[in-house]
Amino acid sequence: MPRQRLSGGRSALQRPDQSCDARLSEKNSPPDVASNLRRLRHQQGYSLETLSKRSGVSRAMLGQIETGKSLPTIALIWKVAKALGIPVTALIVDPIEPHSTVIIRGAAPTTLASYGHYRIRSFSGPETSQPFDFSEVHIAAGHRETVPPYSWGTRATLLVTGGTIEVEVGNEPASRLTDGAAILFDADIEHTFFNPATTDATAFLVVAPSRSGAR
């Protein structure tokens, strides 16, 4: 997720709901027949020439499909699938995603705001598929960070893992959270995180945009 180093006391990070929407949009894209065919052909150990002979589809046409220069017809997909010994759906569905993704400490991008008094280490990105943004938040002692509204319907959860954080949502009175406490709130209105203590505070923040655009 693109990040921006800030110098003021007000956060202007790219909205996590925007990155989530982008990932969801990718899910709605047409199936990648070219990649599927190339991957499955290699798994079978077939060359283009061999697959051409087995399927009755010309080598040139197979090459054009694998490079995305030509879109195959249903009849052609059926011939190729039969030659590979796989169901037709294997060529037109997205590959199965892994059940887990490991993000090592140095690989999680960190965003600095307010001269480093407010830091966010994000565990979400293109390699993950969850429809929300999950981050670790670090707030320096005595620092107050005001966050602009997210898109309409966005909800957030802040779980304090160390220190004390006061959360102000809109015009409501501040909620004081200590280690282990959490708050669920509407993130589509301006909110503020304040560390009133003399030691730094840490928390986990989950931001989930509304898929329908409404609560």
The pTM of this model reads: 0.58
Cα distance between residue 171 and residue 195, in whole Å? 18
Q: Pick from 12, 20, 198, 18: which is nearest to 118 by CA? A: 12
The pLDDT, as a whole number, for residue 131 is: 76
Q: Find out whether 166 and 194 touch, Cβ atoms under 8 Å.
A: yes
Amino acid at 62: L
Cα distance between residue 167 and residue 70, in whole Å? 55
Domains and their CATH numbers in the chain: 16-27+100-208 (2.60.120.10), 33-92 (1.10.260.40)
Farthest-apart Cα atoms in the chain, separation: 75
- Please list the ranges in the chain whose pLDDT falls under 50: 1-12, 14, 16, 20-26, 213-215
Q: Find out whether 191 and 168 touch, Cβ atoms under 8 Å.
A: yes
